[in-house]
Amino acid sequence: MAKEQQLICVRVCQGWDLAQIYKSKLEAAEIPVLLEYESAGLVFGITVDGLGQVRVMVPQPYSEEAKALLEDVEEGYSEEPEAGQDDAEDTKIEPEKI
């Protein structure tokens, strides 16, 4: 019989959508993931008092790698554009001549 691995919480987030992004990132790196949440929050759409909270759980041997990968995800969602990136408003598209 295989020995059960202890699951470690590597991230707690508010909302199912963000948790799915984290899960996809970890699964792409072949890290097994379990999302732990209160079912009432998902069923009724309640996001107060911790009901919308989702815990991203991975087996203990993968925990450090998972934490590092999820830090990269958060850095990708900064609100300010990186230096050298143009805003969409500044981009001009010339119409094609027919």
- Domain segments of the chain: what residues? 7-75
Indicate whether 78 pLDDT > 90.
no
Question: Which one of 1.10.3470, 1.20.1740, 3.30.70, 3.40.190 gives the CATH number of domain 7-75?
Answer: 3.30.70
Place of tokens 């899960």: 23
pLDDT in tens, 25-52: 999 999 999 999 887 766 766 666 677 7
Indicate whether 1 pLDDT > 90.
no
More confident call, 77 vs 59: 59
The mean predicted confidence, pLDDT, of the chain is: 78
Residue from 36, 38, 39 nearest 57 by CA: 36
Does the global pTM surpass 0.85? no
Indicate whether 10 pLDDT > 60.
yes
Q: Which residues lie across from 88 on neighbouring strands?
A: none
